[in-house]
Structure 1
Amino acid sequence: MTMPSSSSEMEKSQSVAESTQKVDEIFYNKEYITLGDRTYRRSDLLTALGSDLSNNNSTDAYPKDQSRFRKLGNPVPLGLASFSLSCMTLSLVNANVRGVTNVKLLISLFMFFGGAIELFAGLLCFVTGDTYAMTVFSSFGGFWISWGCINTDQFHSISGYGENSVMLDNAIGFFLAGWTVFTFLMLMCTLKSSWGLFLLLTFLDLTFLMLCIGSFINNNNVKMAGGYFGILSSCCGWYSLYCMVVNDDNSYFSFRATMMPNAPIV
C-alpha cells in the first residue's frame, strides 16, 4: 500500500469532497438555479439536462415541445375507407352490374363521403406530417367532389353540351386523362410501400385509363373494363384499411400488410 506523499494531496482530496457536498445545496427561483457556488439560468440548465425535464418543469402555460407527447390518431384508414367505398359503388355502375347505369343515387356519396371526408382525411395527414397521404387523399377528395358536381343537374355540366355528345365524351376523356397522369405519378411513389397500396394505385390507374379511352372512342365495353379494374382497386383499399385498423386487442384475425421488396423497415 502507498500512503499520500504530501499534505497537499490530502488537502486536494478534502477540497474535492467539500465541492461535492456543495453541489447538494441547490437554490432556485423562477429564472435562476444555483448549484453549489455556481449559478445557471433556469432555461439553459433544463435544456442541457434534456427536453423531457424542461417540459415537465416548465412554468409556461403551453410548453413548446409538448406536441410529440400528444398521441394522434392515424387518418390514413379514414381516407382509405372513404375512397374504397366510393370507388366500389362507382365501379359497379361503370361495369353495368345488374344493369345499373345511372349514378344519380350515388352523387351524395361521392360528394360527402368520397369528397368531403376524404379531403378531411388529407388535411389531417397534414397535421401528422404525412405529405404523401395528404397529397393523395386531398386530391382524390377533390376528384369525388368534382365528379359529383359533373353528374348534378344544377351545374349543367352535361346538359350544357346539348346534342353534341362527341364533344362531351372528349371533354370527359380530357378530365380522366389528367387523373390518369396524376395517379401514375402517385403510383411511382409506392414502389417501396405495401403491396396493397401499390396494387390499389395500379388498378386505379388502369381504371382511369380504360374510362378515358372508352370516353374518347365511345365504347361501353372499354368503360366496363375500367369498372372491373375499379372494383379490384377498391378491394385493395379494403385490404389496406383492414391491415391498418386491426390488431390483437380488437380482433382474433389480425395480420400485417405485406411489404414490397426493399421497403424501409420501421
Structure 2
Amino acid sequence: MSTSSSIQKTNTIEKDSAKNVETVLFDQDYITLGGRTYRRDDLLNALGPQHASAAYPQSTHRKLANPIPLGFASFSLSCLTLSLCNANVRGVTNVKLLISLFMFFGGAIELFAGLLCFVTADTYAMTVFSSFGGFWIAWGCINTDQFHSISAYSDDPQMLNNIVGFFLAGWTVFTFLMLMCSLKTSWGLFLLLTFLDLTFLMLCIGSFIDNNKAKMAGGYFGILSSVCGWYCLYYCVVTPENSYFNIKPAMMPNSPV
C-alpha cells in the first residue's frame, strides 16, 4: 500500500469515526464500521498502539507450585508407619488401621504428586512418585480382606511368602535403578533410596525364608528411609520467608546444582 493510500485510508477512518456509527461488525481480519469495512490491523494502527496492545494481549506465564514436597510427605509418613509395624515397635504388627493411609495418602496423593511432576516436565520425579504411589495402593489392596489376596493362600502359607517375596523383589530392582539415577542429586534423596532399597531387600529375604528378624531389619531400614524423606521434605518447603530455621540440601559430588 502506498503512502498516499495510507493517508487516505487514515483520513477515511477519522472521518467515519466522527459519524454516528450504528453498526459494528468484525471478524479475525476485518472490522465494519457504519457500512465501511477496514482491515483490522490498519484500523488498530490508526487508533494508536495502546488499542493494538489491548486487542492482542500478551500471554502470561503462570508459575506452578512444586509438587515434589507433596510426594516426599506422602511417602515418608506411609513408610514410617509401615516400618514401625515391620520392626515390631511396641509389639504392633497388625497394619489394618493403616490401610486407608496407604491407599489414599501414600497411594493416591503420591500418584497425584507424580502426575503434577509430569506437568512440570520432571521425568525422574514423575517416575519415582507415580510408581511408589502405585506401590502403596497395591500394598493396601493386598492387606484388604475384600480383595482376598491373603486368604487365597490360607492352605499354603509358603506360597504366600514366595509370592510376596516376588512382589518385593521387583520393587528392590526398581528402587535400585532409581538409586543409580540419584548419584548426582542430594545426599538426602540418595540415602532415602539407599535405605529403601535395603528395606525391600530385607523384607524380600524375610518373606522367602520366613524369617521375622530379617523383616524387622527391613523395618529399621524403612524408618531410616522415612527420616531421610522428612529431611528432603523440609528443605524443599522451607524458605527465609516462612521459617527462621533454614537449611540447604547437601548436594553430592559433581552435582549440576
- Give the TM-score normalised by structure 1: 0.77
Q: Distance in 1 between matches of 2:54 and 2:251?
A: 43
Give distance in 2, aligned partners of 1:228 and 1:164.
Answer: 28
- Indicate whether 1:86 and 2:78 are aligned: yes
| Cα distance in structure 1, aligned partners of 2:90 and 2:153 | 29
Q: Amino acid of the residue matched to residue 31 of structure 1? A: D
C-alpha distance in structure 1 between counterparts of 2:193 and 2:203, whole Å: 15
* Partner residue, 2:168: 176
Report the counterpart of residue 130 of structure 1 in structure 2: 122
The answer to whether 1:245 aligns with 2:237 is yes
| Percent identity (aligned) | 76
Verify: 1:258 aligned to 2:250, yes or no. Answer: yes
Q: State the shift of 1:57 in Å.
A: 3.5
Shift of the alpha carbon at 1:31? 3.2
Query: What is the root-mean-square deviation in Å for CA atoms of aligned residues?
Result: 2.5
- Out of 57, 75, 93, the position equivalent to 2:53 is 57
Amino acid in the other structure paired with 2:41: E
How much has 1:163 moved relative to structure 2? 2.0
User: What SS does the corresponding residue of 2:181 show, helix, strand or coil?
Assistant: helix
Deviations 1:177-226 (A, max 9, x none): 00000000011110000000000000000000000000000000000000
Where 1:190 maps in the other structure, the secondary structure is coil
Deviation at 1:30, TM superposition (A): 3.7
Which residue of the partner structure matches residue 113 of structure 2? 121
Matched, 1:31 2:47: no
Structure 1's unaligned 5+ residue stretches are: 1-28, 36-55
Instruction: Indicate whether 1:104 and 2:96 are aligned.
Output: yes
State how far apart, in whole Å, the 1-side matches of 2:154 and 2:55 are.
69
Alignment match of 1:201 (pick from 182, 190, 193) = 193
1:58-117 per-position Cα deviation (integer Å, ceiling 9, x unaligned): 7458x6x64xx2111000000000000000000000000000010000000000000000
**How do 1:138-153 residues align onto structure 2 when only pairs under 5 Å count?**
138-153=130-145
Amino acid at match of 2:229: G
Listed as ranges, the gaps of 5+ residues in structure 2 are 1-38, 46-51
Counterpart of 2:121, as a letter, is: G
Residue in 1 that maps onto 2:213 = 221
Deviation at 1:33, TM superposition (A): 9.7
Say how many residue pairs are matched.
219
**Counterparts of residues 66-85 of structure 1 (less than 5 Å):** 66=60, 69-85=61-77
Q: Distance in 1 between matches of 2:178 and 2:43?
A: 54
Superposed CA deviations along residues 123-145 of structure 1, whole A, max 9, x for unmatched, are 11111111111111000000000
- 1:189 maps to what in 2? 181
